[in-house]
Chain A
Amino acid sequence: MSISWNSIEGAIELGLLYALMALGVYITFRILDFPDLTVDGSFTTGGAIAAVMISNDFSPWLACLAAMAGGMVAGACTGLLHTKGKINGLLSGILMMIALYSINMRILGAPNKSIMGMDNPFSGEHVMVLIIIVVLVFKIMLDLFMKTDIGLALRATGDNKRMIRSFGANTDVTTIVGVSLSNGLVALSGAFIAQQSGFADITMGIGMIVIGLASVIIGEAILGARTVFWATLAAIVGSIIYRIVVALALQVEWFDTSDLKLITAVIVIIALVFPTMQRSMKQRSLARKRTEELMRSGGQQAKGGM
């Protein structure tokens, strides 16, 4: 088996495009502490809006913006269902996700919309630099947003709703803003993927939430999440690593593609268990040191004490 650099390069490219989706998942799961399942639907919404607009000769960049706006509307609906409608968070995401299936079909007009052969910035041969710039711009913008007043209120909402309410922040608003922003990024990622692969498909968002979570968790295990800066970087790196592993798994002869889900599960399990194991090892060695110290000092005391 020889690993071709080409497929690794392709994997990094895909990883970067999916990284925006991972950033979106990071906002809901890690910052807001809100299990948002809208992602599976809003990813397709983004791809659908972009594909339809591009095939109607709109500028691809305008299509991306429209896709992001569409995702933000979807996210805002989920946020409204949860905060104003008092529907359980998990359920409001699921409701929005299934509602979006029909909406996406309406947008696409057919299950599969091809934009093959139409020029767009992401369908070229070497678009790596462009993609890196776009992803970094969104990462930095997100970092800066999290330092603003509303961003800080948003982060505090995830930590302790009651406390931040007592400071006069409206947690309903922050939740809606957060979920909306998250799904905007997810839809944007869908728009990029549709352009890069040359078509949008009604099934393109299925399983997205799992991939997003896996990316966030893998990244955190490697880079940690000490500050927002590192956490967002971790989501991007995690997304790239996930894609590379998939590319490598595809190169192995005796792997079936059906094993990919198992590999994903295993990677996430390793990423989750590894830090805990490290911690417990540290604590154990610390405990051992303490015991030795105590034994020594205790031994001396015992001499004098009796």
Chain B
Amino acid sequence: MKKKFWMSLMMAASMMVAAGCGNNSGTGSESEGSGSTTGGGSEEKSYQIAISQIVEHPSLDATREGFIAALKDAGIEENKNLKIDYNNAQGDSTNNLSIAQKISGDSKNDLVLGIATPSALALAQQVKDKPLLFAAVTDPLGAKLVTDMDKPGGNVTGASDTNPEAIVQLADFIAKNLPDVKTVGLVINEGEPNAVVMADNAEKALATHNIKLVKAPVTNTSEVKQATDSLVGKVDAFYITLDNSVVSAVDTIIQTANSNKIPFFSSDRDTVEKGAFATVGFKYYDHGYQVGEMAADILKNGTKPGDMKVTVPDKLDLILNLKAAEAQGITVTDEMKAEVKDQENNIIQ
């Protein structure tokens, strides 16, 4: 810490004094990816991709990993013929704007990726002349990132992380297998665009089975425990959306669910692996991989983003966690298991 402090102090001071002095750590990696003949691939073109991500968060990180993996499988590998400029705004709006400006000012970028709505929006306003992809955006149309999901037009396309079918299938599963569930409690931060969209969809889907959705609002991670506790005794099951603040505090909901024997349904695979009982979902890694494939197509074949339709997660499956079921007092029947398509990966022991 102390060392870092002095380093930052020196850095800040030297930056104030001499803006524009080269620094060695940067030039080293630049020469690596400058396309000069480095042993093997002498005719290989090298690329630079800039990534802006709003906050550090398991799902968003998995998205980024999937994106990079897809590029690698397409022969575009980091530290070989790809330089990645990764920026994280740490949840800070002003940093997010500064990052977008920095990325748009760097002419070396061949492609830009924005992970989550605020990052994608800030980039879309600044980056007009480079292909811009977005990932982990719930409602690209509502955010005005694209005007048409099938033919986006401009320089922007990507993948939405919401398949509206997912919550419908989950609601069907709950109604069919857990008939005692009449009310579902939702802890939600209504300050997050994706959470609001998904909560509306969940309300509609559950209503078709006469199940009521009860919301407990939070504004940040520290309020999640109290909100969850407030639902105990009022609801027969918990549900959460892809709500960054709530997902970050998912452990406390799992604790409450286990100690009160309340079935806990979530919206992504990662939380089920952690200890929620079930979801109909996909892996964020796969979601990122989808976007990575789009990126490879743009870089290698020169496909225009405007001609690529916005994708949604297509590998939906029921995912069950048997340990969590035991902890939450749920008997997992064979019928439930039969609904899982990929039993090997999606029934978590």
Interface residues of A (CB under 8 A from B): 1-11, 14, 18, 101, 105, 110-112, 114-117, 123, 193, 196-199, 201-208, 211, 241, 243-260, 262-263, 266-267, 270
B99 at the interface (CB under 8 A from A): yes
User: B65 to nearest A CB, angstroms?
Assistant: 18
Q: When chains A and B are docked, how far (Å) is the Cα of A263 from the Cα of B125?
A: 27
CB contacts (< 8 Å) of A262 on chain B: these are: 4-5, 8
User: A45 to nearest B CB, angstroms?
Assistant: 14
Contact mask B5-33 → A, CB, 8 Å, 1/0?
10011011101100110110111010000
User: B86 to nearest A CB, angstroms?
Assistant: 9
In the complex, are the beta carbons of A112 and B122 less than 8 A apart?
Answer: no
Q: Of residues 89 to 141 in B, which have CB atoms within 8 Å of A's CB atoms?
A: 89-95, 97-102, 104-107, 117-118, 121-122, 124-126
Contacts known (A111-B193, A116-B144, A116-B145); A260 close to B26, Cβ less than 8 A: no
CB contacts (< 8 Å) of A2 on chain B: these are: 20, 22, 26
User: A197 to nearest B CB, angstroms?
Assistant: 5
List the 8 closest pairs (A to B, CB-CB), nearest first. Answer: A6-B105, A10-B101, A198-B125, A1-B26, A7-B105, A116-B144, A114-B144, A204-B93
Most A-side CB within 10 Å, residue of B13, B22, B105, B124 = B105
In the complex, are the beta carbons of B193 and A112 less than 8 A apart?
Answer: yes
The prevalent SS among residues of B at the interface is: helix
In the complex, are the beta carbons of A114 and B22 less than 8 A apart?
Answer: no
Contact of A1 (CB < 8 Å), options: B22, B87, B143? B22
B61 at the interface (CB under 8 A from A): no
In the complex, are the beta carbons of B196 and A266 less than 8 A apart?
Answer: no
In the complex, are the beta carbons of A201 and B144 less than 8 A apart?
Answer: no
| Closest B residue to A55 using CB positions | B144
Q: When chains A and B are docked, how far (Å) is the Cα of A277 from the Cα of B22?
A: 31
B192 at the interface (CB under 8 A from A): yes
Q: When chains A and B are docked, how far (Å) is the Cα of A211 from the Cα of B20?
A: 24
Contact of A206 (CB < 8 Å), options: B22, B93, B107, B147? B93
Contact of A207 (CB < 8 Å), options: B11, B27, B94, B145? B94
Q: When chains A and B are docked, how far (Å) is the Cα of A164 from the Cα of B13?
A: 43
20 contacts between A and B (CB under 8 A): A1-B26, A2-B22, A4-B105, A8-B19, A9-B105, A10-B102, A11-B101, A114-B145, A116-B125, A123-B125, A197-B97, A204-B93, A206-B92, A207-B92, A211-B94, A246-B98, A248-B15, A249-B12, A255-B11, A266-B5
CB contacts (< 8 Å) of B12 on chain A: these are: 245, 249, 263, 266-267, 270
In the complex, are the beta carbons of B101 and A199 less than 8 A apart?
Answer: no
CB contacts (< 8 Å) of A260 on chain B: these are: 90, 92, 95
In the complex, are the beta carbons of A247 and B22 less than 8 A apart?
Answer: no
CB contacts (< 8 Å) of B100 on chain A: these are: 197
CB contacts (< 8 Å) of A263 on chain B: these are: 8, 11-12
Known: A1-B26, A247-B102. 4 other contacts (CB 8 A): A8-B19, A116-B125, A205-B93, A250-B98
| Closest B residue to A118 using CB positions | B144
Q: Of residues 158 to 194 in B, which have CB atoms within 8 Å of A's CB atoms?
A: 190-193
Contacts known (A117-B144, A257-B90); A197 close to B125, Cβ less than 8 A: yes
B219 at the interface (CB under 8 A from A): yes
Contacts known (A10-B102, A111-B196); A270 close to B13, Cβ less than 8 A: yes
In the complex, are the beta carbons of B106 and A203 less than 8 A apart?
Answer: no
User: B261 to nearest A CB, angstroms?
Assistant: 33
| Closest A residue to B192 using CB positions | A111
In the complex, are the beta carbons of B121 and A197 less than 8 A apart?
Answer: yes
Most A-side CB within 10 Å, residue of B13, B19, B142, B191 = B191
| Closest B residue to A205 using CB positions | B93
In the complex, are the beta carbons of A101 and B219 less than 8 A apart?
Answer: yes
B34 at the interface (CB under 8 A from A): no
Contact of B121 (CB < 8 Å), options: A101, A105, A198? A198
In the complex, are the beta carbons of A257 and B102 less than 8 A apart?
Answer: no
B252 at the interface (CB under 8 A from A): no
CB contacts (< 8 Å) of B105 on chain A: these are: 4-7, 9-10
